[in-house]
Amino acid sequence: MQPLELSAIDLVTAIRQGDVPAVQVAEAFLDRIAKVDGVIHAFLHVDRTAALERAADIDARRKAGKPLGPLAGLPVAVKDALCTADQPTTCASKMLAGYRPPYDAEVVARLRAADAVIVGKTNMDEFAMGGSNENSAFGPVHNPWDVSRAPGGSSGGSAACVAADMAPVAIGSDTGGSIRQPAGLCGITGLKPTYGRVSRRGLVAFASSLDQIGPMTRSAADAALVMEAIAGHDPGDATSLANAVPPYASLLEQPLTGLRIGRVAEHFGPGLDPEVAHGVEEAFAAFKAAGATIHDVELPHAKYGIATYYLVAPCEASSNLARYDGAHYGHRAEPGRGHHSSGAPTGGFESPLVEMYCRSRAEGFGPEVKRRIMLGTYALSSGYYDAYYAKALRVRRLIRQDYLDAFREVDLIGGPVSPTPAFPLGEKTNDPLAMYLVDMYTVGTNLAGIGGISFPCGFTKGGLPIGFQLQGPALSEPLLLRAADRYQRLTDWHRRRPKLPA
């Protein structure tokens, strides 16, 4: 039995039945990491010893006839934005290099309670700010389908490690597309659940009203399995939803007959790569063949999504990232030693404290994080608040209303995940605005607080994955997963694997 080739569902079944020991499964994936991650750089931290110990414990418990959790022995990679008490949590920032949280994120705790084996922490854009993973302070991730290209972001490490068989399941976070877009560019399945469906406690905050954790897997069925373990109310997160968690995996069996999928004409406007457009249209056709009906719907305010997102998210980020000031933890600049690497002037600070603040933040944050902190600070300043932040909140309500209106006519909305397939590393790094546009199809989901899923629907002639996105109303995860699963029963795009140098 070759564990690397099994789905998450088959892996947990095999381990539970004793067909394969959890240790052997863990070793297979850890060996794969050791073999290919030198090229991909999906991981910032791998804890081989702890993972093997954990797997051995599960095997021992199985042999002793003790009960096992629903994810027993399943290797899971976790984005480095989620706190882990036994591993560093850096958010791919120099600011938090070496930082070890004293507690597990709620999702990590739930994974452990389900007996998953956490293999390591995945690379990402610094503080989840970016769409290519090039904003990691520890170096970019390479797309397994073409290592000269970006894997997308910000959960690029999580996407790449699943695509390259280094883990069957990864956990990502999605603030404006950070699960769905890298999943699309890496040819895997990524679910951004409804806001509040999965606890944010222990997820290092980027934009609190938009952040949501979700599974990144090889298939929708695997995502359903993971969702059953991580979703649910957490009294420690005031924004978490109290609704009962449905049995996502068993709900997959219901047929799609009568499903109404919306198609937004604007999604096929300028900027969309023709090969991506073709792949997406093929997917619509496949859904139609499976019994769904396709309807034109309008999202009149979708064109303001990027502008709105790039006010709301930086405003919240400017406040959320204020705590990284060098005073309590994280990077602190050494006092008064002349010029520092960023070239910011020294001297002229009003106090040693202010100098410590300024220099710690100047040194600890990368350029994109600084850019967003400045954007947010500016937009929240007195005299600008109404023109920027308050107006963005009003547009956000309109965007949410657009979705509510559309979902009166259709059950789900389909379309592209990202305007292009994976782009070459370095292509957009000097053009932040071009980089921001990679989120144009995904930010609406977060602004509306609803759910979205992306999965592969074809490949370009150059062999790069094309992603399809479905968006659904609040708490429509059962339907999103079921639709994606039905599609994956009819197609095999999600089974394709990149050829990596041996």
**At closest approach, how far in Å is the CB of 308 from another protein?**
15
CA distance 323 to 327: 9
Residues 12, 51, 121, 232: what is their CA dihedral angle, to the nearest 10 degrees? 50
**At closest approach, how far in Å is the CB of 340 from another protein?**
19
Q: Which of 17, 289, 343, 350 binds another protein (CB under 8 A)?
A: 350
Q: Which of 243, 319, 429, 491 binds another protein (CB under 8 A)?
A: 319
List, in order, residues 6 or more apart from 12 with CB less than 8 Å away. Answer: 70, 71, 72, 73, 74, 225
By CB under 8 A, residue 491 contacts another protein: no
Cβ nearer to another protein, comparing 144 with 176: 176
CA distance 227 to 477: 9
Residues 380, 384, 390, 395: what is their CA dihedral angle, to the nearest 10 degrees? -110
- The 325-344 site mask, x for binding another protein (CB under 8 A), equals x-xxx---------------
Which span sits near another protein by CB under 8 A: 4-12, 164-172, 195-203, 288-296?
Answer: 195-203
By CB under 8 A, residue 239 contacts another protein: yes
Which span sits near another protein by CB under 8 A: 283-291, 319-327, 363-371, 402-410?
Answer: 319-327
Burial of residue 501, with CB atoms counted within 10 A of its CB: 0-12 exposed, 13-18 middle, 19 or more buried: exposed
**Residue in the structure block whose two tokens are 């240790």:** 23
By CB under 8 A, residue 99 contacts another protein: yes
By CB under 8 A, residue 238 contacts another protein: yes
DSSP string for 34-94? HHHHHHH--EEEE-HHHHHHHHHHHHHHHHTT----TTTT-EEEEETTB--TTS---TT-G
Evaluate whether 4 touches 31 at the Cβ level (below 8 Å): no
Q: Which of 110, 200, 267, 372 binds another protein (CB under 8 A)?
A: 200
Cα 458 to the center of its chain, rounded Å: 21
Q: Bridge-partner residues for 470, per DSSP?
A: 414, 453
How is residue 320 written in tokens? 């959320």
List, in order, residues 6 or more apart from 392 with CB less than 8 Å away. Answer: 307, 308, 311, 312, 315, 379
Q: Which of 250, 254, 293, 381 binds another protein (CB under 8 A)?
A: 381
Half-sphere exposure of 288 (CA within 13 A, CB side): 11
Which span sits near another protein by CB under 8 A: 94-102, 254-262, 293-301, 470-478?
Answer: 94-102
Cβ nearer to another protein, comparing 239 with 429: 239
Report the catalytic residues: 79, 154, 178
By CB under 8 A, residue 380 contacts another protein: yes
Which span sits near another protein by CB under 8 A: 39-47, 54-62, 272-280, 321-329?
Answer: 321-329
**At closest approach, how far in Å is the CB of 175 from another protein?**
12
Evaluate whether 215 touches 76 at the Cβ level (below 8 Å): no
Tell me the one-letter amino acid at 109: A
Evaluate whether 480 touches 451 at the Cβ level (below 8 Å): yes
By CB under 8 A, residue 54 contacts another protein: no
By CB under 8 A, residue 397 contacts another protein: no
Cβ nearer to another protein, comparing 8 with 129: 129
How is residue 380 written in tokens? 């929240």
DSSP string for 442-499? THHHHHHT-EEEEEEEEE-TTS-EEEEEEEESTT-HHHHHHHHHHHHHH--GGG----
Cβ nearer to another protein, comparing 318 with 476: 318
**Other C-beta atoms lying within 10 Å of the C-beta of residue 139:** 12
By CB under 8 A, residue 213 contacts another protein: no
Cβ nearer to another protein, comparing 89 with 442: 89
Cβ nearer to another protein, comparing 237 with 275: 237
Cβ nearer to another protein, comparing 219 with 360: 360
By CB under 8 A, residue 318 contacts another protein: yes
**At closest approach, how far in Å is the CB of 84 from another protein?**
10
Evaluate whether 460 touches 275 at the Cβ level (below 8 Å): yes
By CB under 8 A, residue 89 contacts another protein: yes
- The 279-308 site mask, x for binding another protein (CB under 8 A), equals ------------------------------
Binding site residues, another protein, CB under 8 A: 82-83, 89, 91, 96, 99, 101-103, 105, 200-205, 207-209, 235-239, 315-316, 318-319, 321-323, 325, 327-329, 350, 353-354, 357, 377, 380-382, 385, 389
